[in-house]
A and B are shown apart, each in its own frame.
Chain A
Amino acid sequence: MEEKLLEINHLKSYFFTRKGVSPAVDDVSLAVPKGKIVGIVGESGCGKSMTAKSIMDLLKYPGRIVEGEILLDGKDLTKLSARERRRVRGEDVSMIFQEPMTSLNPVVKVGKQVREAILTHQKVDRAEAKRRVLEVFRQVGISEPEKRYECYPHELSGGLRQRVMIAMAMVCRPKLMIADEPTTALDVTIEAQILKLIKTLCETTGMSCLLISHNLGVIAQMCDYVYVMYAGKIVEQGDVFTLFDHPRHPYTQGLLASIIHLDEQRERLSTIPGMVPNLMHLPEGCAFCNRCGQAMDCCRTKKPELYDLGGGHAFRCFLPGESEASHA
């Protein structure tokens, strides 16, 4: 087994609202090995972003981590003091967000914003910090870095802004980068550039990446290992080839079946019926039972556990593990 950089064990992050408790992250365990790209895929509200925010200590009231541990290099982040956590955040772990426009302060020059990231975490003088910023700008493929350093966010295009965000995340040479839907707001041709950049950065610096996306294409192109989340739980996990070639959970199968392939003309798309459930009114049994074509009686009453198929592949379902016939 590879060395794990990040290990999350039985993490539960709940939102305590007036109307009830919403289990946004419900008993999630996952691991990110050193130097690998691990993906979390799921639909809106499945808890993938909340998992990331729990790691970064960014959960907002009324949400908080209820239990579980988040181990980074063996150190439990949930047990650290606020000061320690602040240090980890940004220095060891950094995050890039979906919307590069709102993640940057519109009235501060981008170079200065990236420089701030260094100055908060490391004791270097301003000139040195600026030199490092320009170096990172070059590394993330920003052309004419000196000129861009003096730009305000609105003067940059969406793709460049996302590059600045990545530069800001990279500038302290983190061990782990969390990318929450990094390309969703970008055009396809720009998306391809940014994805390639993230991959190259991971390969050249040995950094790990936790990539969160709803786009199975992005996941397939980027990740080594994939977790599929549904209604706050991990429903299937496995390495990228196993998962895409032999999906076992009906939800994963449904997601993969609804992808439109460019090389074939189809009359109808296969769909997963129904909607993503409201976390506050989850069915008693398996959260997916209402939408599942293969649901059995036990699915409606009992919550399934992760069923280990070996080789790191596991899925959360009652479907008999032995009978491979139904989805060969």
Chain B
Amino acid sequence: MREEKKVLLRCEHLVKEFPVDRKRAVHAVSDISLEIYEGECLALVGESGCGKSTLGRTLIQLHEPTSGKVFFRDAEISAMKPAQFAQYRRQMQMIFQDPYASLDPRMTVRDIIAEPLVTHKVCESKEAVTARVLELMDAVGVPREFLYRYPHQFSGGQRQRIGIARAVALNPSLVICDEPVSALDVSVQSQVLNLLKDIQANYGLTYLFISHDLSVVRFISNRVCVMFLGKICEIGDSETIYRDPVHPYTKFLMNAIPIANPHLREQEKTLLEGEIPSPIDPPKGCRFHTRCPYATDRCRAEEPALREVKGRQVACHLV
């Protein structure tokens, strides 16, 4: 199994709340501790509002954590001053969901990919910047002749490649991919996923892959972390979890995916009832108990802690 893996990023009891008014707050991330190992791809999976994007952004200090600590290698980046953090910033880059919104429409491809290079002054001259940009364009499969084109002249998949080039420009160690393919067409989606996998291998990257799509996650990730309403439900090797999901929520999530095989459709599916509770006022006890058909009194009263079950960590009283 996985031993002797070096931890790249680690968070302890991370909490992020966004105040709504004086009394209430959105509990986006509630007391999460996890490790990201070097060279792996850890996927954060969950439905909208489960806090997966916020967790990703808080880990790389785009949001300031409400409480808790984040360590990069062994340095506590959550306690650093901005000036001190600057050198770590370039180690952590991000790929965004919407390829139409994440590129400045008034900048050329060259300027977009060059922005991190210029910001961190890694190249000595303008020519060196351009050379590096061209190199990156090769790597992601954007032909060199499009150097001075504007983002709107590209299709979604091409734009996402430009976004990927920008994210790897500084040779980061960690790349946060926030739903990088969910806005793309089916046929383009697989191209970009293959590219992400190649880039990871070629540059030796570690990915934190945020997605709501379990099939995409299945392809790209080594480890999966299923989240519900700011909490981790289940975390472990993808192989283990996909073969045998243990947490009721994970089971329902996998069950709900429409399978592209008409022969399987007559099977009666058990569907999850109801809607996702509000993160402003999350249920007491296990946060999933309002939707969970197996919930007991204990689930309603006591919050389950993560514990080892069948080779992965699960937060549920019933397993």
Binding site for B on A (CB under 8 A): 43-44, 157-160, 187-193, 195-196, 214-223, 240-241, 244, 254-256, 258-263, 265-266, 268-273, 275-276
- Select from chain A the residue with minimum beta-carbon distance to B197: A268
* Pairwise interchain contact A276-B155, C-beta atoms closer than 8 A: yes
- Select from chain A the residue with minimum beta-carbon distance to B182: A184
* Pairwise interchain contact B215-A240, C-beta atoms closer than 8 A: no
* Pairwise interchain contact B197-A43, C-beta atoms closer than 8 A: no
* Pairwise interchain contact A244-B260, C-beta atoms closer than 8 A: yes
Contacts A255-B187, A260-B218, A263-B242 given; does A220 touch B265 at CB 8 Å: yes
Closest Cβ–Cβ distance, residue A195 to chain B (whole Å): 7
* Pairwise interchain contact A43-B212, C-beta atoms closer than 8 A: no
Q: Is B185 an interface residue (CB 8 A)?
A: yes
- Select from chain B the residue with minimum beta-carbon distance to A264: B218
Contacts A192-B269, A261-B215, A269-B190 given; does A221 touch B256 at CB 8 Å: no
Closest Cβ–Cβ distance, residue A313 to chain B (whole Å): 14
* Pairwise interchain contact A217-B257, C-beta atoms closer than 8 A: yes
Q: Which 6 A-B pairs have the closest CB atoms?
A: A217-B258, A187-B47, A269-B190, A192-B256, A43-B185, A260-B215
Contacts A260-B219, A269-B219 given; does A216 touch B186 at CB 8 Å: yes
- Select from chain A the residue with minimum beta-carbon distance to B156: A44
A271 partner residues in chain B, CB cutoff 8 A: 187, 190-191, 194
Q: Is B34 an interface residue (CB 8 A)?
A: no
Q: Is B157 an interface residue (CB 8 A)?
A: yes
8 Å CB interface, B245-267 against A: 252-263, 265
Instruction: Report the bound CA distance from A241 to B261 in whole Å.
Output: 8
* Pairwise interchain contact A262-B214, C-beta atoms closer than 8 A: yes
* Pairwise interchain contact A221-B259, C-beta atoms closer than 8 A: yes
* Pairwise interchain contact B155-A216, C-beta atoms closer than 8 A: no
Contacts A192-B271, A260-B219 given; does A214 touch B256 at CB 8 Å: no
* Pairwise interchain contact B190-A189, C-beta atoms closer than 8 A: no
* Pairwise interchain contact A275-B157, C-beta atoms closer than 8 A: yes
Contacts A189-B252, A240-B262 given; does A258 touch B187 at CB 8 Å: yes
A241 partner residues in chain B, CB cutoff 8 A: 262-263
Q: Is B48 an interface residue (CB 8 A)?
A: yes
Instruction: Report the bound CA distance from A280 to B269 in whole Å.
Output: 44
Instruction: Report the bound CA distance from A263 to B257 in whole Å.
Output: 13
* Pairwise interchain contact B256-A189, C-beta atoms closer than 8 A: yes
Q: Is B193 an interface residue (CB 8 A)?
A: yes
Contacts A221-B258, A260-B219, A275-B158 given; does A43 touch B275 at CB 8 Å: no
Number of interface residues of B (CB under 8 A): 44
* Pairwise interchain contact B185-A276, C-beta atoms closer than 8 A: yes
* Pairwise interchain contact A217-B259, C-beta atoms closer than 8 A: yes
Contact of A220 among B157, B252, B260 (CB under 8 A): B260
Q: Is B170 an interface residue (CB 8 A)?
A: no
B215 partner residues in chain A, CB cutoff 8 A: 259-262
Having A221-B262, A222-B265, one finds 19 other A-B pairs with CB under 8 Å, namely A44-B156, A160-B275, A188-B253, A189-B253, A189-B256, A214-B185, A217-B258, A221-B265, A223-B262, A244-B260, A255-B187, A259-B186, A260-B190, A261-B215, A261-B218, A262-B215, A263-B242, A269-B190, A272-B190
Closest Cβ–Cβ distance, residue B29 to chain A (whole Å): 18
Contacts A261-B215, A262-B218, A275-B157 given; does A188 touch B256 at CB 8 Å: yes
A187 partner residues in chain B, CB cutoff 8 A: 47-48, 212, 276
Instruction: Report the bound CA distance from A256 to B254 in whole Å.
Output: 20
Instruction: Report the bound CA distance from A297 to B197 in whole Å.
Output: 34
* Pairwise interchain contact A270-B190, C-beta atoms closer than 8 A: yes
* Pairwise interchain contact A258-B186, C-beta atoms closer than 8 A: yes
* Pairwise interchain contact A244-B262, C-beta atoms closer than 8 A: yes
A158 partner residues in chain B, CB cutoff 8 A: 48
Q: Is B123 an interface residue (CB 8 A)?
A: no
Q: Is B131 an interface residue (CB 8 A)?
A: no
Closest Cβ–Cβ distance, residue B12 to chain A (whole Å): 29
Please list 6 pairs of residues, one from A and one from B, whose beta carbons are closer than 8 Å in the complex, sorted by A's number: A188-B253, A189-B272, A192-B258, A193-B273, A240-B262, A258-B187
A189 partner residues in chain B, CB cutoff 8 A: 47, 252-253, 256, 271-272
B216 partner residues in chain A, CB cutoff 8 A: 260
Closest Cβ–Cβ distance, residue A113 to chain B (whole Å): 20
* Pairwise interchain contact A191-B242, C-beta atoms closer than 8 A: no
- Select from chain B the residue with minimum beta-carbon distance to A143: B274
* Pairwise interchain contact A216-B212, C-beta atoms closer than 8 A: no
Q: Is B239 an interface residue (CB 8 A)?
A: yes
Contact of B186 among A43, A193, A262 (CB under 8 A): A43
B212 partner residues in chain A, CB cutoff 8 A: 187-188
Contact of A44 among B158, B185, B191, B265 (CB under 8 A): B185
Closest Cβ–Cβ distance, residue B184 to chain A (whole Å): 9
Q: Is B86 an interface residue (CB 8 A)?
A: no
* Pairwise interchain contact A269-B258, C-beta atoms closer than 8 A: no
Closest Cβ–Cβ distance, residue B3 to chain A (whole Å): 21
- Select from chain B the residue with minimum beta-carbon distance to A184: B182
Instruction: Report the bound CA distance from A242 to B63 in whole Å.
Output: 51
